[in-house]
Amino acid sequence: MGQYQGNAAAVRELVRETEVHRDVYVDQEIFDLEMEHLFANTWIYVGHDSQVPNAGDYFGTSIGKQPVLMVRHTDGEVYVLYNRCPHKGTRITIDTCGNAGKFFRCPYHAWSFKTDGSLLAIPLRKGYEHTGLEGSEAAKGIPRVRHVRNYRGFVFAKMSDAGLGFEDYFGESLSSIDNLVDRSPVGRLEVAGAPLRHMFNCNWKMLVENLTDTCHPMVAHESSAGTAVEVWKQMFPGANTKPPAVEIFAPFISPYEAYEKMGIRVWRNGHGHTGVHHSIHSDYSSVPGYFDKMVAAYGEARAKAILDENRHNTAYFPNFTVKGPIQAIRQFKPIAPNRTLAESWTFRLVDAPDQLLERTVTYSRLINAPTSVVAHDDLEMYERAQEGLLVDANPWVNIQRLYDPTEAGQDTAVVNGTSEWQMRNQFRAWSKFMTMSL
Amino acid sequence: MVAPTDQDLISFVVHEARLIDQHRFEEWLDLFSDDGHYWMPLEWGQTDQRLTTSLMYEDKLLLRIRVERLKGNRTFSQKPKSRCHHVLQVPQIDKRDEAANEYVTWTPMHYVETRLDEQDLYAAWATHTLAMVDGKLKIKLKRVDLVNCDAALRSIQLFM
């Protein structure tokens, strides 16, 4: 047995007010406990219900390290099933998405299950007569994730009975999902195509912290965003209108003052967002016809209020982020202490002009692809940190910037955009949800 | 205008890969026509690059940004620099349309990119759409279809 299993006090000691111990990033036992406790006690994003529009449609993903299936049942409900046959453990489906028809059929021994997971039939069933099968785990069918909530199309699940109810857990942070959905004149989103999938040799929390790290873009992205602006000026001297790609790159190298003024909002349970007052998405050129559609749908005042929100990253604890103004989401899937899969999805705003999707697609390609120069900048920093943390001389990571001794008692706040409050907020939540069932 | 021979097309594609392998990126950029694009789809059999996400869809401005970035003093992901290596099958001529000034070649290839102790091997098909511009062959579109385009990929920092 290691030093953390069953030892909540030792886990709590890893998170100080303004420092975090490197074991949260590098230690295998801590990672295993995160999978067992943190990812069970929190609400994890599973998928979007537009990925399973029809009965029998399924989408395969994972919660923590466990494979799950999001499926549309014949009653119209979306269920989340653990992706294993109750018989021998075989994954029922291996592809990312498909349609099961009226039932799932395990490819190994042909046990079949309704799309809510319940056992439908077993071949040669008489072999189980008088064996007491009805009392077995297998007879219960494909196990279902117990707590599932479809919030305006975004399906979240919580594996454990511990933790908080959905509304209590997310609270006001749901306003960022609301804003993303409201950007469609008919209030509906559709996943547009496959995700970009980029593998990082670093801990998943480094990608989460980076979402609200506003003191790195002008440094780490000087090489990409800075070069983009310079090359554009050289190639098109005197041009006023930036091409779409440069319009996306340029704000990344905004000066410190701009990021300070953007503001950060934090909410309890580890959620928060950058871009309270303005953001890197504020100055995109307008798309013809879009505002008129929004006014027709919502009235002018409401349409303006929806589109004036320019939240950059809304970090939903633990591993999900929503980027409303660019209609994209990202999820950081933990694979190992030093291995994380980042998946980036783009959305179509139903009934909005195609140019919005075009901008989203361009943004995702330029910023979040394994081929993206901005992603190359970031990956280099995370992986250097993962290696540097092996130094024993200093096992602590500093998250002290603009620390306020009263902040732990505050449910929500709007602060200077370069504050590391949101990182501290995440680690307070980390400590809470890690230890509540330990 | 003199039409290129099949051997001209083949030599062009082979030379293009060599320029990348030897980091002769300025010469490489000159192979693209002013409206040329480099496209690496994300989806198998992808037909659209505007409303479907790609790994790369870059015009000359974006390609030049990449080339300049690779040289940058503060491009930390290129300290040390990546290296790459192409192995091409003989390019096949899929289309010769002299009237339309359009020539299409198809080239299966293996591509290796390395940096520090990491070496990644990719298999892909390159489809070149070429045209004669001012007496020289130029790339209108280089499409690179990765065999594992939808896999979880490590960073690809150079050009296939």
Residue with tokens 């007569």: A129
Q: Do A199 and B154 touch (CB under 8 A)?
A: yes
Which residues make beta-bridge pairs with A19?
Answer: A398
Closest chain A residue to the Cα of B80, Cα to Cα: A380
Select from B55, B61, B77 the Cβ nearest to the Cβ of A377: B77
Indicate whether this complex's ipTM tops 0.95. Answer: yes
B35–A contact, CB cutoff 8 A:
no
Cβ separation B151–A375 shorter than 8 A: no
Is there a contact between A199 and B76 if contact means CB atoms under 8 Å apart? no
pLDDT above 90 (res B1):
no
Chain B residues within an 8 Å CB radius of A224? 65, 69
Query: Cα angle vertex A315, ends A155, A154, to 5°?
Result: 15
Beta-bridge mates of residue B121: B112
Output the six-digit token pair for B154: 């490590």
Q: DSSP per residue over A320-383, as a string? A: EEEEGGGTEEEEEEEEETTEEEEEEEEEEETTS-HHHHHHHHHHHHHHSSTT-HHHHHHHHHHH
Cα–Cα distance for residue pair A215/A171, rounded to 1 Å: 28
Cβ(A352)–Cβ(A183) under 8 Å? yes
Q: Is A232 within 8 Å of chain B by CB?
A: yes
Q: Chain B interface, mutation test: which of A253, A349, A371, most B Cβ atoms within 10 Å?
A: A371
In a 3-state reduction of DSSP, which class is residue A402? Answer: coil
CB atoms within 10 A of CB A314: 27
Chain A nearest CA to B137, separation (Å): 23
Q: Between residues 320 and 349 of chain A, which touch chain B (CB distance below 8 Å)?
A: 341, 346
How many CA atoms lie within 13 Å of A188's alpha carbon, on the beta-carbon side? 8
Task: Tell me the backbone φ, ψ of residue A100, rounded to 5 degrees.
Answer: -85, -10
Q: How far is residue A85's CA from residue A92's CA, in Å, rounded to a whole number?
A: 6
B151 inside 8 A of chain A by CB: yes
* Cβ-based neighbour number of residue B7 at 10 Å: 9
A222: contact with B, CB 8 A cutoff: yes
Q: How far out from the chain centre does Cα A141 lie?
A: 29
What is residue A406's predicted lDDT score, i.e. its pLDDT?
Answer: 95
| Cβ–Cβ below 8 Å for A193 and B52 | yes
Indicate yes or no: CB of B61 within 8 angstroms of CB of A198: no
Question: Residue A343 corresponds to which tokens in the numbers above?
Answer: 């998946």
> Which residue is listed with tokens 């950058």?
A274
Where does residue B32 rank: exposed (0-12), middle (13-18), buried (19+ CB within 10 A)? buried
Cross-chain residue pair A358–B54, CB shorter than 8 Å: no
Task: List chain B residues with CB under 8 Å of A232.
Answer: 61, 65
pLDDT, position A208? 98
Give DSSP secondary structure letters for A217-233: HHHHTIIIIIHHHHHHH
Q: Is B9 helix (H, G, I), strand (E, B) or coil?
A: helix
Q: Is A225 near chain B, with CB under 8 Å?
A: no
- How far is residue A428's CA from residue A434's CA, in Å, rounded to a whole number? 10
Report CA A43 to chain centroid distance, whole Å.
11
Q: Which residues of A touch B53 (CB under 8 A)?
A: 192-194, 196, 346, 361, 364-365, 369
A290-298 and A300-308 helices, crossing angle to 10°: 120
Q: Where are the beta strands (DSSP E) in A159-258?
A: 189-191, 196-200
CB A151 within 8 A of CB A174: yes
Whether chain A has a CB inside 8 Å of the CB on B76: the answer is yes
Provide the chain B residues 3-32 that lie in CB contact (below 8 A) with chain A. Answer: none
User: Looking at the complex, does the CB of residue A235 fall below 8 Å from at least one CB of chain B?
Assistant: yes
Contacts of A192 in chain B (CB under 8 A): 51-53
Are the C-beta atoms of A139 and A119 separated by less than 8 Å?
yes
> How many angstroms separate the Cα of A132 from the Cα of each of A126, A137, A213, A374, A394?
12, 11, 57, 59, 58
Q: Determine the length of chain B.
A: 160
Q: Note the pLDDT of residue A28.
A: 98
A31 vs B2 pLDDT, higher one: A31
Cβ contact B149:B43 at 8 Å: yes
Chains A and B form CB pairs within 8 A to the count of: 104
Nearest-CB residue to B156 (from A245, A371, A380): A371
Instruction: Determine the straight-line distance between the first and last CA of chain B, rounded to whole angstroms.
Output: 30
Question: Cβ contacts of residue A398 below 8 Å, gap of 6+?
Answer: A18, A19
Does the distance separating the beta carbons of B51 and A371 come in below 8 Å?
no
pLDDT at A285: 85
Whether residues B152 and A198 touch (CB distance < 8 A) is answered with: yes
Are A194 and B54 an interchain contact pair (Cβ–Cβ within 8 Å)?
Answer: no
Nearest to A381 by CA among A197, A198, A217: A217
CB within 8 Å: B51 and A373: no
Which of these, A403, A399, A163, A422, lies nearest to A267 by C-alpha position?
A: A422
Calpha distance A190→B121 (Å, rounded): 34
The pTM of the full predicted model, rounded to 2 decimals, is 0.97
Q: Hey, what are A251's tokens?
A: 């704000």
Question: Strand, helix or coil at A287?
Answer: coil
A175-215 pLDDT, tens digit per residue, is: 999 999 999 999 999 999 999 999 999 999 999 999 999 99
Specify which residues B133 forms β-bridges with. Answer: B136
Query: From the candidates B26, B40, B53, which should be mutated to test the interface with A, based on the most A CB atoms within 10 A?
Result: B53
Token representation of residue A19: 């420092």
Mean pLDDT of chain B: 97
Distances (CA, A) of A328 to A12, A199, A285, A325: 34, 18, 18, 8
**Residue A346 to residue B154, Cβ atoms within 8 A:** no
- Identify which of A373, A364, A363, A313 has the alpha carbon closest to the alpha carbon of residue A343: A364
B4/B95 Cα distance (integer angstroms): 12
Burial class for B112, CB neighbours closer than 10 Å (0-12, 13-18, 19+): middle
Token couple for A267: 């909410």
Would you call B116 an interface residue with chain A, using a CB distance cutoff of 8 Å? Answer: no
CB count within 10 Å of CB A136 equals 12
Given a contact cutoff of 8 angstroms between Cβ atoms, the answer to whether A361 and A367 are in contact is: no
Q: What share of chain A is helix, strand, coil (3-state, %, to 5)?
A: 40, 25, 40
Mutate to test the interface with B, among A235, A373, A377 (most CBs of B within 10 A): A373
Residue of A nearest to B154 (CA): A199
Best mutation target, A95, A227, A340, to test chain B (most B CBs within 10 A): A227
Q: Do B61 and A192 touch (CB under 8 A)?
A: no
CA distance B106 to chain A (A): 22
Give the number of C-alpha atoms closer than 13 A to the C-alpha of residue A342, restricted to the C-beta side. 32
Give the helix ranges, DSSP H, for A37-93.
39-41
Are A157 and A148 in contact by the 8 Å Cβ rule? The answer is yes
Contact A365 B55 (CB under 8 A): yes
How far is it, in rounded angstroms, from Cα A73 to Cα A93? 16
Residues of chain A with pLDDT below 70 are 1
Question: DSSP letter string over A83-138?
Answer: SS-TTT---S--SSEEE-TTEEE-TTT--EEETTS-EEE-TTGGGGTTTTGGGSSG
Q: What pLDDT does residue A1 have?
A: 57
